[in-house]
Amino acid sequence: MRSTRRTNRYHWAWHRWARFIAQRLILRSVVFSTVRVTVEGEANLEELKRPYLVVANHSSHLDAPLLVTALPWRITRHMAVAVAADYFYEQRWRRTLTSFFFNSYPVERGRGKKREAGLSVTLLRENVPLAIFPEGTRSRTGKMGTFKPGVAALARALRAPVLPVALVGAHEAMPPGSSWPKAGRLPVKVIIGKPIQARPGEKLPDLNDRVATQVRHMVTNQTPYVLVPESAPSGHEYDDGDQAREETARVGDDTSRAGSEAAGETSRHGREAEPAGADASGNDTNGATEPVPAAAAAAGNPADEPAEGKRRRGIFRRAKRTRTGRHSNAPTDDNAGHRQPDAEVDGEADPGGQR
C-alpha cells in the first residue's frame, strides 16, 4: 500500500539511517552504560516477518529506549513506537526528539474525538511494524496492569503476529517520577517470547487474554519459554489441526489403557494356573498363612515377580524337596539346632522346619 502524506516520514530512507545513528550509537550507549541489559529469547525472532506488533509491559520511561536499543536492528529498523499524544506531542522540542529517536506516532488516550484515529491501521497496512504498550500507561507499583484490547483487535483484523516482550527490572532502575536511571547499573532483562497469531474464529477477549498471559508469565518467571498450557480458552472454535491433535492424544490414551488391562489380565490368569493350596513359593500351606521371614523380605517380594517366574520357582523347589527326601535316609536330631536339608531354599523358610 502506498504511503499517505501523514505517513511519508516512516518510509524515508534518510530518516531511517538517521535513526540508526540516534538509536544504535547515541541512545544505546547511554542506556547500556546506566543499566546492565540482558536479552533472552532472540531465537523466537527467526521467522518473524513484517508487519508485526511488539507488545510489552510498561512501568518506566526506560521501556521504549530498551525496546529500540536491545532488540536486533532488523526488528527495529522500520518499527514505529506508539506514544501518548498528550505527553510527548504537546511541545515541539519533545515531539521532534521523540520522533527522531523512536520513530514515534501519537496515540490519543481517553474518549472523545481523536485527530489521529486509524493511524495504527494505516501504518500496519503500509508494512510498518508497531511497538505498543497495551496497558496504556506506566504502572506506578511495577506490577503489570490489564491489557487494553486494541492490540488484539489490530492483530485479529490484519492477521499480524504479536511479539510479546517482557521488561524486567526497568521499574526498579528508573521508577515513575525519576528523570534518570539510578546509580549502580542495576540489572534489566529484555525477554522475547514466541510470536502469537490469532486463531481462526478466536474471540477478541480470548486473544487479548492469551497475549497478556504470556507477557505476565515471562515477567513473573523471567523466562521466554511458556510453561503454562497453550490450550484455547473457553469459546474458542477449533480448527482441523486442533481436532487432529486431540484425536491423536485420545488414541494414544486408549492404547495405553488397553495395554494396562492386557497386562493385568495376564497376571490374573497366571495366578489362577497355580495349584490349589500352594503359595507363591510352591509350599503347601493348606490354606494357612505363614509370616514372611526377614530373609525373604531382604531377598525381595516374590509377589512382584511375573506369574511364569513364580510357577517355575514352585516346580523347582518341589522337585528339589522330592530328590532330598528320596536320597537322604539319615536321622535328624530336632534338638541339635541344625536345619533340615530342605529347611530353607533361596532364603525362604519351610513351614515345617525349625531353627
At 75-131, the pLDDT tens digits run: 999 999 999 998 899 889 999 999 999 999 999 876 655 556 689 999 999 999 999
Question: Is domain 5-109+116-232 given the CATH code 3.30.1490 in the classification?
Answer: no
Q: Per the confidence metrics, is the pTM higher than 0.75?
A: no
Under a CB-based contact definition with an 8 Å cutoff, are residues 146 and 58 in contact?
A: no
Q: Which residues pair with 268 in a beta bridge?
A: none
Helices 240-272 and 307-327 pack at an angle, to 10 degrees, of: 20
The pLDDT value given to residue 318: 61
Q: Give percent of the chain with pLDDT exceeding 70.
A: 60
Helix boundaries (H) for 170-224: 170-173, 204-221
Instruction: List, for residues 192-228, the tens digit of each pLDDT value.
Output: 999 999 999 999 999 999 999 999 999 999 999 865 5
Average pLDDT, stretch 18-45? 96
In whole angstroms, give the CA distance from residue 192 to residue 222.
10
Helix (H) or strand (E) holding 239: none
Q: Where are the domains of the chain?
A: 5-109+116-232, 273-328+341-349
